[in-house]
Structure 1
Amino acid sequence: MLKRQNPSTPEHSRDLAAHGGALSMSHNDSRSFLNLSQLVLSAGQIKPSPALKHSKITYFEVEIVDVESKKQICIVDKVSPASTLLDVKHKFHKACPQWYPSRVGLQLERNGPFLKDSISIQSLAVSSIVTLYFTDLGQQVGWTTFFLTEYTGPLLIYLLFYIRLSTIYGQVESRKNFRHPVVHNACYCSIISWVLHLAEFILIKLQFVLPYCPFKKIICLFQGCAFYWGFTSWIAYYINHPRYTPPSFGHKQVSYAALAFLMCEAGNHFINVALAHQTNSGSRSCFPSPTYNPFTWLFLLVSCPNYTYEAGSWISFTVMTQTLPVGIFAFLMVIQMSLWAQKKHKLYLKRFYPEVRRKAAMIPIIF
């Protein structure tokens, strides 16, 4: 016979408890899953966290090699793309203190030209390593000092004679106040000429030359100063002398010559501006062509019109003042500029033969 199990027995109670506990756990899991589902639905779609962006800067290594021995001198590392060649020279100077930046010449090729300090490293780089050839330029002197000394001297010297210092002309002669108008015109023309020379160097020519020149060329500075300063003193002494004799043909000679002087100075300035504009625009593969400016039309006849205008200005100054020192100075200047014009004309013939072969160097048709 089967025995009837008593519900009040301990075994039966344990079974009921286990069954009830399982039901309770199952019910709690269902409620937790339901609550989690409602939370996800109410929160919307879960968006992944944005990835952090890291900016990567590519640095260059500049290998500096001796141009003669081809041996590596040093490596300038961690050079940013925005760095210029001047920045590399400063870092090179820290590594090798015996070579300060002004005497360091760097070339991209052994026989290539020296690179300018303003060139960026990124423009030279083909890979992450840039190789530059080093040349010791020796002791240097700044071109700014070079030309400012050469051109500022005549300007100040002429003014010293113009005010008629008693130490130059004596007490009695310096007290004479009367001056012929040509004396004032000559002073104005001299100031215009030397100021234009300074302005053209600072605003135009300084952009196309290296900032320094070898110290051994200091002898050229002394020669230039002796030439310009000496002739300016001689010219100014005669023109500003109280006993100076005015030109033979009077006011007409002075006026026409002064007008010719101003036109030649203007032409010289506009030619230099045209040459500088051609270099800035990168169109150096063709001969300079005339523009809408009439002063540049001289390019049709000569290859070096700036020297033509420069010679014309000093010839005009000679006619205006009618003095022997000015005539000698103008003669020497014409000879010097003709030599420069011939040298540049030969270079133009090699580069732009079809365009230059029928042109003269400085004087139309003649020379």
Structure 2
Amino acid sequence: MKITIVTSRGNKHICDIEAETTSTVLQLKKSFEKKNKKYYVDRQRFTTSTLGADGKPVALTDDGKTLSHYNIKSDTTLLFKDLGPQISWTLVFLVEYAGPLCIYPLFYIFSKQIYGTDFQKSYVQDLALICYSLHYIKRLLETIFVHRFSHGTMPLSNLFKNCTYYWGCTIMVSYFVNHALYTAPSSINVFVGLVLFAVSEFLNLMCHIQLRNLRPPGSTERRIPKGGLFDLVSCPNYTAEITAWIGFSIMTQTLTAFIFTLLGAFQMYVWAVAKHRRYRKEFDGQNGNPLYPRNRKIIVPFLL
């Protein structure tokens, strides 16, 4: 069958591709790449020119699904969008997490040069360095050994955006925590914050391991997460991440740490809402599909 490919903007004709209904989306992308060398597989996104049941164009998002799954027939027209230069998720995570691990200690080690005076650091500043560093060491190790990404790449522009956020916030937090005028909070604040941070980091790791075990190696299969905090909220990994930084903020008692926590919490809430909606839409209980638990909250147990 013949498939006509046009641009998503302007419907400008690009090429025609011969395919079978049993061909997969990946095979379609490879055929398109042969005719358009610039647009390698990871840069391609196809949608139908007709609207689906929800009134929106249907995106061919699963490379393993056949064209017939998306109701692609002969003489169908597909809309092509160039996703731009791509970079692997793993590399993006490694770069964005390595930055804070290297940047934060600079304010601790070179405090005399940065603040213009030599001073004795408090034990809280020592603890903060250890906690901040361990968090990003954990994130790096998770990226290498734990995470399995459903999509292999993301736009290259995300690397600069993510690094600006993580690296910039690290400068903001580290500058004030390691400042010569920093005053350590009470011991009870430090203890409570440290315990909350440590427990949350452990729970965050457990959530990531649970998510990894949901998906067999090399598979993009999606399942309903169950067990532990997943029985309460859709994104407990974000919940634990937020409480970890709340603990760090309580321990250090700096305004910039709380600002960093609020910024991260807002972004993770946005991600959690989108993921929660995706779970409920995908697992709707119809046609043999499992039903997503309707009493499960988004990110805050029993509340939100």
TM-score by shorter chain over 0.5: yes
Verify: 1:103 aligned to 2:43, yes or no: yes
Equivalent residue runs for 1:1-367 within 5 Å: 66=5, 73=16, 89=30, 96-105=36-45, 111-116=58-63, 135=80, 137-144=82-89, 145-170=91-116, 172-173=117-118, 176=119, 178-205=120-147, 207-213=149-155, 218=157, 220-248=158-186, 250=187, 252-280=188-216, 284-285=222-223, 287-290=224-227, 297-350=228-281, 351=283, 355-367=292-304
Q: Is the 8 A contact 2:192 2:250 kept in 1?
A: no
Q: Is the 8 A contact 1:106 1:115 kept in 2?
A: no
- State the distance in 1 between where 2:108 and 2:5 align: 55
Q: Is the 8 A contact 1:318 1:326 kept in 2?
A: yes
Measure how far apart 1:191 and its partner are: 1.3
Amino acid at match of 1:304: C
C-alpha distance 352-179 of structure 1, shift in aligned 2 (>3 A): farther
- State the distance in 1 between where 2:129 and 2:136 align: 11
- State the distance in 2 between where 1:299 and 1:138 align: 33
SS at match of 1:284: coil
Match of 2:55 in 1: none
Measure how far apart 1:179 and its partner are: 2.1
C-alpha distance 301-167 of structure 1, shift in aligned 2 (>3 A): same
User: Which protein is richer in helix relative to its size?
Assistant: 1
Measure how far apart 1:312 and its partner are: 0.7
**Structure 1: stretches of 5+ with no match in the other structure:** 1-61, 77-84, 291-296
| Number of equivalent positions | 274
- State the distance in 2 between where 1:147 and 1:334 align: 19
SS at match of 1:66: strand
C-alpha distance 179-346 of structure 1, shift in aligned 2 (>3 A): same
Amino acid at match of 1:189: C
**Structure 2: stretches of 5+ with no match in the other structure:** 20-25, 51-57, 69-73, 286-290
Measure how far apart 1:143 and its partner are: 3.4
- State the distance in 1 between where 2:205 and 2:115 align: 35
Deviations 1:299-324 (A, max 9, x none): 22222211110111011001111111
C-alpha distance 75-345 of structure 1, shift in aligned 2 (>3 A): closer
Measure how far apart 1:115 and its partner are: 5.0
Amino acid at match of 2:174: A
- State the distance in 2 between where 1:151 and 1:188 align: 15
Q: Which has the higher contact order (CA 8 A, sep 6+)?
A: 2
Q: Is the 8 A contact 1:108 1:115 kept in 2?
A: no
Measure how far apart 1:240 and its partner are: 1.4
SS at match of 2:171: helix
Identity of aligned residues (%): 31
Measure how far apart 1:135 and its partner are: 3.7
SS at match of 1:343: helix
- State the distance in 1 between where 2:179 and 2:170 align: 14
Give the TM-score taking structure 1 as reference length.
Answer: 0.61
